Amino acid sequence: MGDILGLVGKRLGLGLVILLIISVIIFFMVELLPGDIAEAVLGQGATKENLAAMREQMGLNQPAIWRYLQWLGGALTLDFGSSIVTQEPVMSVIGARFANTLFLAAYAAVIAVPFAIILGVIVALLRNTVFDRVANVLTLTSISSPEFFLGYILILFFSVKWGMFPAIASLSEGMSFADLLERTFLPALTLVLVVVAHMMRMTRAAIINLLASPYIEMARLKGAPPWKVIVKHALPNAWAPIINVVALNLAYLITGVVLVEVVFVYPGVGQALVDAVSKRDFPVVQACCLIFAATFILLNLAADVGAILTNPRLRHPK
C-alpha cells in the first residue's frame, strides 16, 4: 500500500509542477502579445482616459511578475477576476458552460467506452476475418477525419436530409432530459466517432498481444471456448493499457471539444473560449485554458493510477 501511495504522490507532484509551468505559459503568452493590451481590447479609437482606466482595471500598471502571482493566487481559489466584456466574475461566465461540457463528455463516454471495449473484444475474436478488416478500415477513417468534418457530415445527413436531430445544440432552462439528450446527440455522436476508434484498436491490440501467452495456450488446450479465453483470461490482464487509453480519451472528450462545440453552437467551455478570443476577453481565455490543462492533467493522473492498480509489475518495479 505504501508503494502505491508513493507512486501516486510522485505522479501528483509531477502533475502540479506541470500545471504550474502551464500557468506561466498561459499568463505570459498574453503578456507577449504585440501592442498595448488595453488598446487591443478597446480599439484604436479609445481615448487616453479610457485606456488609463482599462490599464488600471487590468492591473497593467503593476509588474508582470506581481500580476502573475496575484492571478495564480486567485486561480487557486477559482477566482479568475472579472470578464472585460460583461464585467461579471469569470467563474460565473464559464461555470455553467463547464457543466455543459462535462455533460457532453459524459454523454459521449457512456456510449463510447462500452461500445469500444465490446467491439475490440469481438474484433480480437474475429481477427484476420472480413469483419476485422472492415472494422480497421472504418476506425482508421474515423481517426483520420477532423472533428468538424465529421460534425458537418452528421448535420448533412441526420439534420438536413433525414431531419432526425437538430443541427444546433441549443439548450434552454426547463427542458426535459429527453429533449436534452436529443439536442446533444449529434455533438456527442461526433465525439464518439472520434474516440471509439482509438479505444477499440487499443483493446484489440492488447488482447491479441496476450493471446500468444502460455497461460492462454493452456486454456485453449483445456478446451475453453474462445469467448471464455478472452473474457476470463485475456481481458483481466489487458485492463492496464485499456484503462490508460480510456482515461486519455476521456481527457480528450473534455479538452478537445472546442471544434465540436463551435460546429453545433453548443454552450460549453469551448464555445466560451472561442467567443472570448474573438472579443479579446483575456481573463476568460486564461481561465478556460487553465481549466482545460488542469482537467487533462487530472485525467492523465487517473490513467496512471488505474494502470498502477491493475498492473502488479508497476506496483513492484523491482
**pLDDT bracket for residue 312 (50, 70, 90):** low
pLDDT: which is higher, 130 or 235:
130
pLDDT: which is higher, 48 or 16:
16
pLDDT number for residue 50: 74
DSSP the chain: -HHHHHHHHHHHHHHHHHHHHHHHHHHHHHHTSSS-HHHHHH-TT--HHHHHHHHHHHTTTS-HHHHHHHHHHHHHTT---B-TTT-SBHHHHHHHHHHHHHHHHHHHHHHHHHHHHHHHHHHHHTTTSHHHHHHHHHHHHHHHS-HHHHHHHHIIIIIIIS--S-SS----TT--HHHHHHHTHHHHHHHHHHHHHHHHHHHHHHHHHHTTSHHHHHHHHTT--HHHIIIIIIHHHTHHHHHHHHHHHHHHHHHS-HHHHHHTT--SHHHHHHHHHHHT-HHHHHHHHHHHHHHHHHHHHHHHHHHHHH-HHHH---
Q: How far apart are CA 104 and CA 93, in angstroms?
A: 18
Cβ burial of 227 (10 Å; 0-12, 13-18, 19+) is exposed
**pLDDT bracket for residue 239 (50, 70, 90):** confident
pLDDT number for residue 90: 87
Give residue-wise pLDDT tens across range 171-184. Answer: 877 788 888 888 89
Say if residue 266's pLDDT is above 80. yes
Say if residue 295's pLDDT is above 70. yes
pLDDT, averaged across the chain: 82
Instruction: Check: CB of residue 78 under 8 Å from CB of residue 275.
Output: no
Q: What percent of the chain has pLDDT over 70?
A: 91
Instruction: Check: CB of residue 260 under 8 Å from CB of residue 151.
Output: yes
190: phi then psi, degrees, rounded to nearest 5: -60, -45
**pLDDT bracket for residue 186 (50, 70, 90):** very high
Give residue-wise pLDDT tens across range 71-101. Answer: 888 888 888 888 877 778 888 888 888 889 9
pLDDT number for residue 86: 79
pLDDT: which is higher, 308 or 74:
74
Q: What percent of the chain has pLDDT over 90?
A: 8
**pLDDT bracket for residue 2 (50, 70, 90):** low
**pLDDT bracket for residue 275 (50, 70, 90):** confident
**pLDDT bracket for residue 21 (50, 70, 90):** very high
CA distances from 88 to 1, 51, 113, 210 (A): 46, 20, 38, 55
Say if residue 265's pLDDT is above 80. yes
Give residue-wise pLDDT tens across range 113-138. Answer: 899 888 888 888 888 889 888 988 88
Across 187-207, average pLDDT: 86
Across 230-247, average pLDDT: 77
Q: How far apart are CA 129 and CA 123, in angstroms?
A: 9
pLDDT number for residue 157: 92
Give residue-wise pLDDT tens across range 30-53. Answer: 777 666 666 666 666 677 777 777
All domains of the chain, ordered by start, with CATH? 2-76 (no CATH), 95-280 (1.10.3720.10)
Say if residue 203's pLDDT is above 80. yes
